Chain A
Amino acid sequence: MTIAWQDEQKRLTPDEVQSASFPLSRLGRRGYDEEHVRAFLREVERELVTLLNEKVSLWNEVERLRRRIIAGMKTSGDDGVLFGREDAHVHAVRILSNAQLTADRYVADAQAYSHRLTEEARSRRDEILAAAQQHADMVLAEAQSRAREAALATLNAPAPAQPMESDRSALKAELAYLRTFGEVYRTHLRAYTEGMLRSIAEWERSEAGAIEQASADAAGSFSLGQP
Chain B
Amino acid sequence: MDARRLKDSFAKLTMHGDEVPLFFYSDLFIRHPELRDLFPVSMKTQRDHLMAALGKIITEVDRADELSGFLQGLGRDHRKFGTVAEHYGSVKDSLIETIAHFSGDAWTPELATEWMDAYSRIADLMVKAAKDDESTHPAFWQGTVLSCERMAFDISVLQVRPEPRLDFTPGQSVAIESPARPKLWRYYSIANAPRADGTLEFHVRLIDGGAVSMALTQLQAVGGLLRLGPPVGVLTLDASARSDILMVGGSTGLAPLKAMTEQLAKSPGARKVQLFFCARTADSLYDLRSLEKLAADHEWLTFVPVVTTEPRFDGEIGSVPDVVARSGTWSGHDVYLAGPTEMVRETSARLISTGTPRGRIHIEDFGWSEP
Contact = CB atoms under 8 A, between A and B. Distances in A.
A104 interface: yes
B41 interface: yes
Interface stretch (B204-212, B287-295, B297-305): B204-212
B124 interface: no
27 contacts: A1-B48, A3-B51, A3-B55, A4-B21, A49-B18, A52-B18, A56-B17, A63-B104, A90-B101, A93-B23, A94-B26, A97-B19, A97-B26, A100-B26, A101-B22, A103-B41, A103-B43, A104-B44, A107-B41, A112-B209, A114-B209, A115-B208, A115-B209, A116-B209, A118-B206, A119-B209, A122-B154
Contact of B18 (A4, A6, A119): A4
Nearest to B19: A56
A89 B25 contact: no
Given A4-B14, A4-B51, A122-B208, 15 more contacts: A1-B52, A1-B55, A4-B21, A5-B14, A7-B15, A89-B27, A96-B26, A96-B30, A101-B22, A104-B42, A104-B43, A107-B41, A108-B42, A108-B44, A115-B208
Contacts of A101: 22
B20 interface: yes
A21 to B, nearest CB: 14
Nearest to B283: A129
Contact of A53 (B19, B30, B211): B19
The B contact surface, by secondary structure, is helix
A46 interface: no
Contacts of A3: 14, 51-52, 55
Contacts of B22: 97, 100-101
B214 interface: yes
A206 interface: no
A145 interface: no
Interface residues of B, number: 34
Contacts of B29: 96
B14 A6 contact: yes
Contact of A4 (B17, B23, B154): B17
Contacts of B209: 111-116, 118-119
B17 A5 contact: yes
Interface string A66-91: 00000000000000000000000110
Contact of A114 (B25, B41, B104, B214): B214
Contacts of B154: 122
B341 to A, nearest CB: 14
B16 interface: yes
Nearest to B52: A1
Contact of B42 (A1, A56, A103, A133): A103
Contacts of A1: 48, 51-52, 55
B356 to A, nearest CB: 31
Contacts of B18: 4-5, 49, 52-53
Interface centre among A92, A96, A112 (most CB of B within 10 A): A96
Nearest to A1: B48
B30 A93 contact: yes
A93 B26 contact: yes
A60 B23 CA distance: 11
Contacts of B43: 100, 103-104
Contacts of A49: 18
A121 B48 CA distance: 31
Contacts of A135: none
B12 to A, nearest CB: 10
Interface in B23-46: 23, 25-27, 29-30, 41-44
Nearest to A67: B104
Interface centre among B18, B23, B25, B101 (most CB of A within 10 A): B18
A23 B41 CA distance: 37
A89 B30 contact: yes
A107 B17 CA distance: 21
A27 to B, nearest CB: 20
Interface in A110-141: 111-116, 118-119, 122, 125, 133
CB-CB nearest 7 A-B residue pairs: A115-B209, A107-B42, A96-B26, A56-B19, A1-B48, A118-B208, A93-B26
A132 to B, nearest CB: 12
Nearest to A56: B19
Nearest to B43: A100
Contact of B48 (A4, A96, A115, A116): A4
Contacts of A90: 101
Contacts of B214: 114
B206 to A, nearest CB: 7
A104 to B, nearest CB: 5
